[in-house]
Every structure is written in structure tokens, then in C-alpha cells.
Structure 1
Amino acid sequence: MDHGIISFQPALPAQRLGELKDMAQEVIVAAATLEGRIAKETAQALGDRLRFLNSYHSNLIEGHKTTICDIEAALEKDYSRDEEKRYVQELCAAHVNTERTLMQKLSTDPPENICSFEFVSLIHRTIYEQLPKQHQFTHSNGGFTNLSVMPGKMRQGAVSLDGGLTTHGPDAENLPATYEAFSHVYDPFGYHGDERLIAAAASHHRMTWMHPFRDGNGRVCRLFSGLYMASIGINRGNLWSLSRGFSRDKQWYMTNLQSADSPDDSGKGFDQAYFADYCMYFLEVCLDQIRFTDQILALNRIDARIDGYLSDRDKSRGALSPLDTRAGRLLKALFLEGTVPRGKAQSIMGMDSQSDRHARRIVSQLVKEGLAVSASHRAPLMIGFPAKVLRYYFPDLFGPEILGEH
């Protein structure tokens, strides 16, 4: 493809647009239905926990594997002594913090155009400036180079994905103008209804193709797409993970991206058939992950899984740290209702008025262990998701290899 300024027109695929609009509508409805099925407070707690999955899977795509336990440790500044493992911990923790920070920014101080380089460079800078200075260099299987990642700055040279055989994206001298064209073409406010979601799919490919930074483009692009969709009202609660969908078959993800790189006959634009196929793939991944989350959040399954966790904590079964099984009723109520006034906890657990002190001890234990959370000793209770319950509550999401349990 000509490495001059590439035309992003047509911005949405000229082919299969009707199919894409139908699929986009299906995704929008499914995402809204999922958000509406779960209490707001429960969704917030679960969504924040799923940021760890976004980080885990996004970095897995880049060839960096860690565990949820390692990410939690890194967030507490507890790192491995092995430099390579520490670097991966740092990246994953930075990813979680960046997503938290910028998702909050969407609510309090949204950008005028989420596609602007000002905002996308903020994603890159927020990730890499959390790393120590010695790790703010490009990295490969051979370790760190002497080239700075230049947090938040556009690359100044060519980029290659095949060891230098070919270059990728626009030439460095054409990158600023190409990016400026991209930011205008894919500004979500330039679209309406289902076309905004198709634009989100298209912009993910265009961003990865441009490779605007010296390093970290993949994880920045995936964060960008999650934030783009949140900005148009899709998956704001982070109840499903786009990165998980991509990482389930990394090679197919890469194949679809690379196919959409194909030039048209003029060499100054993109082949529309491959572009349409890629956008359909993106939307199919979204729908697959929404359906997956919808299935695992089925209330009858959650009830059974909470019971399974309480069963392993039953004193009669010799648990080292027993928990009264009546706490299960409260945990289920918290999950379903979002908040429960402390004064109702005793009756929910089926305990009579003579058991007030024991009920308070159970609640205190739940809060201490993070199974329930509360702003103060008088504030309402909400559900908590400490790492130790994830394999019980959501085994399909948090397997032992992801959590770091053996």
C-alpha cells in the first residue's frame, strides 16, 4: 500500500452494510439487556473486577502472560524479583489503573472527540508513565532496547511487524496528517444509532494499522476501543471483555486485522470486502462475549456457586476459616439487589431477634474478608468479589491458570 496519506473513505464498509447494521443492532440490544439484568452496585463491583481480565487478555495477546494474583500484587507494589515477570506485572497493573482512570474521565470530563490524538496519547502516556524509568523502553523477546517508548508521543520512524521485511502503516512524516484525517472521520458524533458501533469496529482496525506509537500499540488500541464503545453507551459497566474475545483465538484476530490492511486497486485506500469482513468479525466477538457473560450471570447458577463457596467454608466440614452458611442468604441478596441496609441483614439470614450479636459478627466477618463491602459501619452493604471467590462464582471466567492457583 502507498505509505502516503491514506484515504479512510468510505469510513464504513461499502459492502455488507445492511448486515453490519443488523448485527450492530443485535449487539446494542443484547448489551443493554445484560446491563439491565444486574443491580447497578453489583455491576460496578463486577465490572471493576473484570478490568483485571481485560488487562490479562490484552497483554496475553502481546505475548505477556501473568495471573490475576500477580496483577493484584503489583497494584500493591509487590513485584517479582525476576525482571521479566516484574515488567509484565507492571504492564498489567498499569492497564488496570489506566482503564479505571479514563473510564472515570468519560463520566466527569469527557473529551470532545475520543479519536483525537490528545485523548489517545493520554491512554499511551497514562500506561507507560506508571512504569519505572528503566522500563520505559521498547521491549522484545530479547529484553529491553535503548529506544524510549516516548510516552504519549507519535513514533518518528518506520514500524515493522515482520522483523523489518516490510513497513506497516503510514510513513512517519505522513503519520500526523493521516492521524488527523482518522480523528475527523471516526469521531463518534459524526454518526447516529447503529452506525456508531460500526464506526467503533472500523476505528479499531484503522488505529492498529496506523501504529501511531513506537511501542504498545496493541494494548492502547484495545483500551481505546473499550473506551470508544463506553463513550457511545455500550458496555459502560465493563460486564464483558472485548480483549477476552480477541484472545480466545489470537491468530484469527491477527488474521482479520491483517486482511483488512489489504489495499484497494488504487493502492490509496483499503479493500472494501476485507474491511467489511473485519467489521463483522469485531461485532461477532462483541455479541459472543455478551452472550457468554449473560449465561454465567444466570441467577440460578450464581446461587448454586455461592452455596458451593459456603459449603467449602462450613465448620462441619473442617474448614480452617469457617463461615456461617446462613451468610449465603445475605450474599445472594446483595448480588441480586445491589445494596442491603444493615438492619435487614439479620432477617435475610433467617436469624431471630435473639441472634443479633451473632448476626453482627457474621456481617463483620463478611466485610473484613471483602465478601461484602460498606462505606462505613452504618452504611448499606454491597457485594464484594475478592480473588478467593472468583473461581467459585465465575469459574468459566477465572480458571486456575488465570488466577494463578494450582
Structure 2
Amino acid sequence: MKSSAIAQYTLPHQFEPLLPQSGLDALRERSRAVIEQSLRLTAAAHPDTIASLRELVREMNSYYSNRIEGQSTHPRNIGRALRRDFSDKPDVARLQRIALAHIEAERALEAGLGSGPVPLSGSFIQQAHAELYGRLAEPDRLTSDGEVIQPGQWRTHLVAVGRHEPPPPAALPAFLGRFDQVYGRMPRLEDQLIVAAAAHQRMAWIHPFVDGNGRACRLQTHAALWPLSRGLWSVSRGLARRRDEYYENLDAADAPRQGDLDGRGNLSDKALRRWCEWFIGICEDQVGFMTRMFDLDGMKTRIQALITFRAAHDKRIRPEAALPLYHLFLAGPTSRGEFQQMTGLGERTARNLLSHLIETGLVTSTGHVAPVRIAFPLDALQFLLPELYPEAATRED
């Protein structure tokens, strides 16, 4: 006999189970493979190269998380926003400000990990919401109904999300308290993906804010997975590329228990397990993709292809740039003199080449005598990291 939906959720046991009760061995086996591959990924390049990539992924997170909400701006506009160059078109400028707020919020939340609330807690998602919306002026944080989104403020009225009616405001503390009890403890390494997946769905189920729940949930999940990802792969990218499936699976996991063989909670254990399977699959895809991108032989070939292409269209770029660029990827910051020596060119020619590489964004430096580092400008991604962020290569609207 099927369970019927409850008219109004007021007691925390009504959103149990909070973790899958069956099929855990299979989930853990898949999770272990993702975790092992993810941990190897952080050792695949120099820390400075990883730091440079992390900033690119942060921009990408902002783009994809906002795209899920139907509010994305072109990647190049995000780049301009980071330089405080905002469009004179009000709608575009607003989306730029939202994207910038997301980037800054993500960076701030990462900086606080280990010293503030644990990521999978009500306090953390409240902080995430406040970090995001507290960076926006009131006109930029209006709901579609014209209601002002108050940073970090719990919802104060009833809402409906599709077929689901989340708990009433008075019941939110009880549901968030139970959330903390289950998810707030540090899980075993092999359980981290499973716990993060289930917490993402159940926090969306609680729907604690009047708006901004999706963005806040994804910021929370990003922080929860930080010990594994170190910011090198993006759940938001995977969710955005399968946006319809994302919403369908979130919704499906709201289902009530389907008889005696479907767990012991009010909600369906099978549906929650399917959601976790799907979410882990997203992580598998993203970690696998970035692992392929970090393949050293592949990166060497892609750098050579990029330089060959640019040299054919720009006389100031020379084929001799490929080897020192690959060295920067592998070994990290290098003195200007060493970089120039690796080109094998004359002093003046090598100096001019390096200056142009800095000018075009392939190489970066903090000062005229500081070491140089590899960079990943948007217009080079189709060569260096193909398909990572394909929207960056499209024309702007």
C-alpha cells in the first residue's frame, strides 16, 4: 500500500530517511573510486598551477550555478565584472553583479572552512545565503514577485515548490536541527559523497529561504566536497549540463514511502538512493573529465597546438614558447630569466616574446621582476582545456 503525502510537514521525522538505508555497499564502491581519483588529481600539477585553475573553476561555478537559475551572463562578462568593468545595459550589469557576488561568496566560504560552522549544517547554509545576497544591493535581490530577499533570513511564510510544500516557517528550526544531527558529523571518507548528495536533496526539500535556495545549496555542497575537490572540479558544471535531470531527480526524491519494502521513513528510501546514485554519477563525470584534462602528455600536446595556432596568426608569438609554458604548468613559478633561456632565443627576442605572452594573458606575474606563472585565459581554453567551459568560446549576445 502506498503512503499518502502529508498535508503539512511539521515534525522532523516526516522527512526521514536522511541517508539511504539500502544499497550502501554499491554506493560506497562508486564513491571510493571517485574519491581516490579526486585525491590523485590534486597531485597532478604544481600548487600554483592548481591555484590558477581553481580561480577559473570558481568563475565557472558562478556561471553554471546562475545558469541553472536561468540568470547567467556570458563568461566574458563575468571576466569583465572581476575587473569592475560593468555593462551599460542594466540587465547585463545586474547579472554581472550576481555572478561577482557568487564568486566572492564562494571564496569567503572556503576561507572560513575549519574555523566556522561545518558545511553540512543549518548555520553554514545561512552563512552561505548571507555571503551571497549580502553582497548585492536591494534592487539586485528581488524575487520574481518583487519581494526583497533578506540575506541569511529564514523564510517567514508558506511556499510551494512545484508539487512540494516545504515545512511552515515555525517548523524550520526543528527540521534544521535534525539536519544538523545527521549531517553535521564528519562522515567516514568513503561516505562523504553519499552524505553530501543526501544533504543537498534534503536541504532543498526544507527550502529554508524565500528565494536563493538552489544557489545556497550548491555553495553548501561545494564547501562540503572541498576536502575532496580542492576546487578543481565542479558539481555545478555537471548539474547545469543536465539541468532538467537535476530538477527531475530532486523532485523524485521527495516521493513518499512506497510500501513496506521501501525503508522505514516517511519518504521513499528507494527514491533517495536513486538521487544519490545520480549525484555520484555527476561527480564521476566531473572528476574523470578533469583527470583527462590533467594528463601530462595531453597537456603538452594542447600547449603546442595553442602556440602553433597563435604563431600562425600573430607574428609576436613564436613556437619556442611551447616548452617554457609546459614547464610552468609542471613546475610552477619560474624566473623571467629562466623562462627566456628555455626558449633558446636571443635575449631581446625572448624578452619580447615573454612580454607578449603576459600581454595576451597566457602568462601572468605580480610585478616586473616577479616570477612568471601559467594562466588560463578564456580565449585559450578551447585548446588548453577543451570542453571544460565551452560557453567561453561562444559569441556574446
> Structure 2 length as normaliser, TM-score?
0.90
Q: Does 1:375 align with 2:369?
A: no
Partner of 1:158: 158
The answer on 1:279 being equivalent to 2:273 is: no
* Residues 216/43 of structure 1: CA separation in 2 closer, same or farther (3 Å cut): same
2:340 and 2:93 mapped to 1: Cα distance? 45
The structure 1 residue matched to 2:193, chosen from 194, 197, 207, is: 197
1:38-187 to 2 correspondences below 5 Å: 38-106=45-113, 110-139=115-144, 145-162=145-162, 166-187=163-184
For the pair 1:393 / 2:390, whether they are aligned, the reply is no
* Structure 1 pair 96–404 and aligned structure 2 pair: CA distance change class (3 A): farther
CA contact (8 A) 1:188 1:196 kept: no
| Conserved? CA contact 1:69–1:404, under 8 Å | no
Partner-residue secondary structure (3-state), 2:43: helix
Q: Deviations over 1:269-304 (max 9, x none)?
A: 321011111111111110111111112232233223
Amino acid corresponding to residue 381 of structure 2 in structure 1: L
Deviation digits for residues 83-102 of structure 1 (CA, Å, limit 9, x no counterpart): 33333222222111111221
The alpha-carbon distance between structure 1 residues 403 and 179, as it changes in their structure 2 partners (threshold 3 A), is: farther
Match of 2:343 among 349, 355, 366: 349
Deviation at residue 403 of structure 1 after TM alignment: 4.1
Aligned to 1:32: 39
Tell me if structure 2 keeps the 8 A contact 1:262–1:271: yes
Alpha-carbon distance in structure 2 between the residues aligned to 1:11 and 1:117:
14
User: Is 1:70–1:404's contact at 8 Å kept on the other side of the alignment?
Assistant: no
Tell me, yes or no, if the aligned pair for 1:168 and 1:211 is still in contact at 8 Å. no
Q: Please give the per-residue CA displacement for 1:338-387, whole angstroms capped at 9, x wherever unaligned.
A: 22233422332123xxx233323333333343322233334332211222
Distance in 1 of aligned mates of 2:304 and 2:48: 21
Cα separation, 1, equivalents of 2:392 and 2:208: 30
SS at match of 1:179: helix
Residue 225 of structure 1 corresponds to 221
Q: Confirm or deny: 8 A CA contact 2:363 2:374 kept in the other structure.
A: yes
For residues 205-245 of structure 1, give each alpha carbon's deviation from its aligned partner in whole angstroms, at most 9, with x where no partner exists. Answer: 11111111111111111111010111xx2101x22111111
> Does residue 3 of structure 2 align to residue 6 of structure 1?
no
Rounded Cα–Cα distance in structure 2 between residues aligned with 1:52 and 1:404: 16
Contact 2:22 2:269 in 1 (8 A): yes
**1:304 corresponds to:** 301
CA spacing shift, 1:344–1:235, aligned 2, 3 Å: same
Establish whether residue 241 from structure 1 lines up as the match of residue 241 from structure 2: no
Aligned twin of 2:356: 365
- Give the 3 Å change call, closer, same or farther, for CA 17–318 of structure 1 in structure 2: closer
Residue matched to 1:405 = 395
For the Cα contact (< 8 Å) 1:6–1:268, is it kept in 2?
Answer: no
Q: Percent identity?
A: 32
| Residues in 1 aligned to 2:289 and 2:307: alpha-carbon distance in whole angstroms | 25
* Matches of 1:224 and 1:366, distance apart in 2: 37
- CA pair 405-391 structure 1, distance change in 2 beyond 3 A: farther
Aligned pair count reads 385
The offset of 1:65, in angstroms, is 3.2
Moved more, 48-57 or 370-379: 370-379
Structure 1 gaps, min length 5? 140-144
Alpha carbons 2:336, 2:369 under 8 Å: kept: yes
Q: Which runs of 5+ in 2 are unaligned?
A: none
8 A contact 1:30–1:287 mirrored in 2: no
Distance 1:160 1:403, change over 3 A: farther
For structure 1, which segment, 5-14 or 170-179, has the greater mean C-alpha deviation from structure 2 after superposition? 5-14
SS at match of 2:146: strand
Aligned-pair Cα RMSD in Å: 2.2
User: Does the 8 Å contact 1:157/1:171 carry over to 2?
Assistant: yes
Matched position secondary structure for 2:373: strand
* 1:339 partner SS: coil
Between the aligned partners of 2:360 and 2:108, the Cα distance in structure 1 is: 26
Q: Equivalents in 2 of 1:198, 1:398: separation in Å?
A: 27
